[in-house]
Structure formats: C-alpha cells, structure tokens
Amino acid sequence: MDSSKWFVSLPGQVPARRRLFCFPFAGGGASFYRSWRSLIPDDIEIVLVCLPGREQRFGEPLIDTIDGMVAAIHAAIGPLTDKPYAFFGYSMGAIISHHLACKMVAEAREGDCGPEHLFLAARRSPDIAMKRAPLHGLSSEHFWQEVAKYGGTPSEILENQEYRDLFEAPLRADFKLSETAYSGDLAKLFCPITVFGGDMDTSPVPDDLEGWQKATTGGFAKHVYAGGHFFITDHQDAVIGAVADAFGD
C-alpha cells in the first residue's frame, strides 16, 4: 500500500534518530500537529498520520471501524519503522494508536518490536466502559449539540449549516469508530505508556486514565492539566515537553 497518503513528514525536518507518529482526534486532521516541529527536539521526526475523509484526503471513502482503520494503517506503515518510533494519539487517535501498537507487536515484522513508547491523551483506559450514550446514531441536530459540548469544534462550523453538512459524515464516522472500538481483549504491551488528561474533562475524567498502567508491562506515567477535553490548547508546550523527555530517554 502507498504510505505517502497516510504519513507526512513536516518540512524542514533534519535527519533524526527517532520518529513520533501523531494521530488526530475525532474530526481533527493531521495539521493539528504542524506546530510541534518547532517545539520538539530536532532528533525526533514528527510524522503526521493522515486519515481518509479529511484535509488533503477529503472525499476518500471513510473508515468507521477500528479494525478497518488499523488494518489500513498497518499495511502502510512498514517502510517507516526502520528506526525507533513512538505513537502519540489524542482521544480517537489514542484508541487507534493503542490498537495499532498491539497489532504491530502481535504481527511483528523482522527487526520491529512495535513502538518504543505510547503517548495517549484524553482517552479512558481499556478496562472502563463508555459512560455516556453513543453519539454517532443521533439525529443531525442532536449530534451537533453533543459535539459542541466537547469544545474542540470551531464556531465557524457549528454556526454554519453548509459547513455542518460538509463535515458531518466524517465526524460521525469518527465517533462510530471511537464508540464501537473494543479494547478489552488486547494483549499487554511491553513499552512504557504515558497518559495525559484534563482535570475538568468529563469523558474521560482523570481517574479513567489510571487503568492504562494495566495495558502494559512497561512503565507508566500520568499527567493531568487544568482544562477540559481539549486541555492541550492551553498546555501544548508542557505536553510536548513531557513527550520529548520520555521519548528521548
């Protein structure tokens, strides 16, 4: 499979010792992580994970199941696993990166033992069931009302019917993937897991992050910042610093 449409390295990247793959949240695109290049050490290459149905891949067939998404990414990522790498996933991106890491360990290619570190933000641990009702099957009006509560959708979209019509299908597919993904039967990883959350987030609440330490036999760290589901908006530098410190060890 052509990996060029799935993964994009940021311009200005110098030869690096490690790669950090960054997975977007539901409705988000790879461009969310573009600012990270200037904030992270040069010896870590930022690789943007570009999912179908958004930004430069807008209009491509959507993938609304975790198995389908992980299989497609797994088929494309091989050429980029030639040096040590880690995953960073935010919300939906966290569940995708966790499932992908488990698949890569289970089906390890020669010389590849999976990611060296897993960084997960704003996602409850696999041992905790979703506490709210699913959103992906709601009527359009109620769907957008619930989406607005997360605080990450630009007002230009929420207040414009044409934009909502344009973005509803990809966003609904993302919520379906995230809400129907089952992680309870995944094998434990060996790499360290570092999790991030907001102290005012309601899905997940900070305590819902604790169970991630049971998803690995490696180390575990937890960072909680002031804010809701998109706490990273105000704490980007701190999150990137924690990632750089942990992945640079």
Dump pLDDT digits (tens) for 97-144: 999 999 999 887 655 678 999 999 999 999 887 767 677 877 778 878
pLDDT in tens, 137-159: 777 788 788 778 777 677 788 88
Rounded to whole angstroms, the Cα distance separating 109 from 53 reads 29
pLDDT in tens, 64-110: 999 999 999 999 999 999 999 999 999 999 999 999 999 999 887 65
Sequence-ordered list of residues with C-beta below 8 angstroms from that of 136, at least 6 positions apart, any chain: 64, 143, 172, 173, 175, 176, 179, 180
Active site positions, annotated: 91
Q: What pLDDT sits at residue 244?
A: 96
Q: Name the fold adopted by 7-131+184-247.
A: Rossmann fold (3.40.50)
Return the pLDDT at 237. 96
Question: Helix (H, G, I), strand (E, B), or coil: what is residue 103?
Answer: helix
pTM above 0.85, yes or no: yes
List beta partners, residue 45: 19
The domains of the chain are located at 7-131+184-247
Which three-class secondary structure state does DSSP give residue 9?
Answer: strand
What's the burial of 19, exposed, middle or buried (CB within 10 Å: 0-12/13-18/19+)?
buried
